[in-house]
Amino acid sequence: MTAQEAEDFLRTYRSMLKTWTMAVAGFSNDDSDLLYRQLEADQNVLADIAISYPEKSYSVDLLINSRSRTWAGYAEQRLPRPQNRQS
């Protein structure tokens, strides 16, 4: 994997992480379980990028920690949001 391919992968992973976060928070109808499994499967690639490109290891750490932190709750466990809430 070239440095550009690694950067492209990080960009794609970051986008998928955002999509998953929106699904978990209840802001989208995407399948959060499917997205999570894909994020989990791609974690090995992140590790390879961190080893091959040490200058990208901080970005890799941020992405892994963002995915693995404890969430306040999944959409079905959260209280309903007010209808007039501005986003």
**pLDDT tens figures, 31-70:** 888 988 898 888 889 999 999 999 999 989 888 888 765 4
State the pLDDT at residue 27.
85
The domain total for the chain is 1
Q: Is position 55 within any domain? A: yes
State the pLDDT at residue 3.
92
Q: Which residues contact 61 (CB under 8 A, 6 or more apart)?
A: 50
Closest-CA residue to 66 (of 82, 46, 48): 46
Q: Is position 34 within any domain? A: yes
pTM of the model: 0.74
Domain, as residue range, for 31: 3-68
Collapsing DSSP to helix, strand or coil, 28 comes out as coil
